[in-house]
Amino acid sequence: MIPESFEYLAPKTLPEAISYLQQYGDDAKILSGGHSLIPMMKLRLTALSHIVDINGIPGLEYIEESDGFLKIGGLTREVALEDSALIRDKYPILLDTAKMIADPQVRNIATIGGNLAHGDPANDHPATMISLDARIVATGPNGTRTIGISDFFISLFETALAPDEILTEIRIPIPPAGSGGAYFKLERKVGDFATAGVAAQVVMNGDRCTSARIGLTNAGDVPINASGAAYSLVNHSPDEAMISAAAKMAADESEPTEDLRGPVDYKQAMVKELTKRALRRAIERAKGGQ
Ligand SMILES: Cc1cc2nc3c(=O)[nH]c(=O)nc-3n(C[C@H](O)[C@H](O)[C@H](O)COP(=O)(O)OP(=O)(O)OC[C@H]3O[C@@H](n4cnc5c(N)ncnc54)[C@H](O)[C@@H]3O)c2cc1C
């Protein structure tokens, strides 16, 4: 289908973009990669009077470590994560995640900021950002504010971003020594959204787990923080039985709904299995394995 007509705006600075958002309110939206927004407009699930394309604003695409954080610019493309030596060497969970998103054509254009700002629980980055305890930097008329990832996803397609705010940066605390993470996703075919996905991040001191976080993809109306499952591992030396028990808890914390990808009990069984795999790989990586 063809979208309803709209006015296209191409600001060159953040203040200019924000002033458009203030001016047009709920009738305007940011365009980043356009790979979620344009399909929704073409399906007429979203009708807007104005599109604010931020691709011409310099300085929003970067991946760098500073001040104790991995900082990723909001407009950074998925392909940049795939190509980054820093991500490959120090943040393999982010490489796992980016590589599972859609296909290379989509990943060349789609942005990490858009993936989070869209508020779609089927997107892959939200669960990973939950496991990494990320912070979202939002820039609006009153400057910037930082939102913890646990407070970011409000409901289906709704985030804590105000209509006149732009997601400008994602900050991930640099993991301490002994950290490891992994993302596993089940998809019906390559390029599909997740039937279920699990991100796990752990810190190990020898065989003892000192910290764990688990995020779930497409397992509820919002990306889910499976905190009970994660806490069950802390201050223990996770063996197969403990990993299995944590995986069962993650499945119990999930709230999937039946759809074309399967019934609820199947999806919860997949959450359980993927949690086991993600935890095993995360622990292995934390201990120095790949
Ligand atoms: C065929 C296909 C398969 C896909 N498969 C997957 C998949 O397997 N996994 C997955 O995670 N995703 C998948 N996607 C979604 C894709 O990754 C999206 O592009 C991504 O989720 C949104 O990023 P974007 O840059 O395209 O955002 P856009 O489409 O430009 O924007 C999406 C929404 O976020 C808002 N927005 C965008 N950027 C900002 C910002 N900086 N600040 C504030 N608001 C902003 C927009 O206004 C809009 O409401 C798929 C898409 C397609 C077309």
pLDDT tens track for 145-190: 999 999 999 999 999 999 999 999 999 999 999 999 999 999 999 8
- Of 153, 173, 193, the one marking the end of a domain is 173
128 and 213: one domain? Answer: no
168 and 69: one domain? Answer: yes
Q: Is the CB of 119 under 6 A from ligand 1?
A: no
pTM of the model: 0.97
- Of 18, 33, 53, the one marking the end of a domain is 53
152 and 81: one domain? Answer: yes
Q: Is residue 2 part of a domain?
A: no
134 and 221: one domain? Answer: no
Q: pLDDT digits over 115-127, tens only?
A: 999 999 999 999 9
279 and 222: one domain? Answer: yes
Which atom of ligand 1 is nearest to 102's Cα? 5
209 and 272: one domain? Answer: yes
Q: Is the CB of 76 under 6 A from ligand 1?
A: no
CATH number at residue 147: 3.30.465.10
Q: What percent of the chain is predicted at pLDDT more than 70?
A: 100
pLDDT given for residue 289 in this prediction: 72
How far apart are the CA of 119 and the centre of ligand 1, in A? 9
101 and 192: one domain? Answer: no
Q: Is residue 58 part of a domain?
A: no
71 and 169: one domain? Answer: yes
Q: Is the CB of 124 under 6 A from ligand 1?
A: yes
Q: Is residue 204 part of a domain?
A: yes
What confidence category does residue 1 fall into, taking pLDDT thresholds of 50, 70 and 90?
Answer: confident
CATH number at residue 28: 3.30.43.10
Which atom of ligand 1 is nearest to 37's Cα? 29
Q: Is the CB of 35 under 6 A from ligand 1?
A: yes
Q: Is residue 81 part of a domain?
A: yes
Which atom of ligand 1 is nearest to 161's Cα? 43
How far apart are the CA of 36 and the centre of ligand 1, in A? 4
Q: Is residue 247 part of a domain?
A: yes
For the chain, the domain total comes to 3
Which atom of ligand 1 is nearest to 31's Cα? 30
Q: Is residue 30 part of a domain?
A: yes
42 and 91: one domain? Answer: no
Closest Cα to atom 12, ligand 1: which residue?
123
Burial 72-108 (b: 16+ CB within 10 A, else e): bbbbbbbebbbebeebeeebbbbbbbbebbbeeebbe
How far apart are the CA of 288 and the centre of ligand 1, in A? 33
Tokens of 255: 């709230």
Give dist(CA 91, CA 95) in Å, integer. Answer: 7
Q: What is the mean pLDDT of residues 37-46?
A: 91
Q: Is residue 39 part of a domain?
A: yes
How far apart are the CA of 240 and the centre of ligand 1, in A? 37
Q: How far is CA 102 from CA 185, 191, 206, in A?
A: 12, 4, 36
How far apart are the CA of 249 and the centre of ligand 1, in A? 30
Q: pLDDT digits over 67-99, tens only?
A: 999 999 999 999 999 999 999 999 999 999 999
Q: What percent of the chain is predicted at pLDDT more than 90?
A: 96
Q: Read off the amino acid at residue 14.
A: L
- Of 140, 155, 173, the one marking the end of a domain is 173
With the CA atoms of 212, 217, 218 and 219 taken in that order, what torsion angle do they form, in degrees rounded to the nearest 10? -10
- Segments forming the whole domain that contains residue 276: 179-286
151 and 189: one domain? Answer: no
| Three-state SS annotation for the chain | CCCCCCEEECCCCHHHHHHHHHHHHHHEEEECCCCCHHHHHHCCCCCCCEEEECCCCCCCCCEEEECCEEEEECCCEHHHHHHCHHHHHHCHHHHHHHHCCCCHHHHHHCEHHHHHHCCCCCCCHHHHHHHCCCEEEEEECCEEEEEEHHHCEEECCEECCCCCCEEEEEEEECCCCCEEEEEEEEECCCCCCEEEEEEEEEEEECCEEEEEEEEEECCCCCCEECHHHHHCCCCECCCHHHHHHHHHHHHHHCCCCCECCECHHHHHHHHHHHHHHHHHHHHHHHCCCC
Closest Cα to atom 47, ligand 1: which residue?
30
Q: Is the CB of 167 under 6 A from ligand 1?
A: yes
79 and 166: one domain? Answer: yes
For ligand 1, mutation pick of 32, 72, 170 (most atoms within 8 Å of CB): 32
pLDDT given for residue 290 in this prediction: 58
What confidence category does residue 46 fall into, taking pLDDT thresholds of 50, 70 and 90?
Answer: confident
CATH number at residue 273: 3.30.390.50
Q: Is residue 1 part of a domain?
A: no
Which atom of ligand 1 is nearest to 217's Cα? 11
164 and 225: one domain? Answer: no
Closest Cα to atom 39, ligand 1: which residue?
114
Q: What is the mean pLDDT of residues 263-285?
A: 98
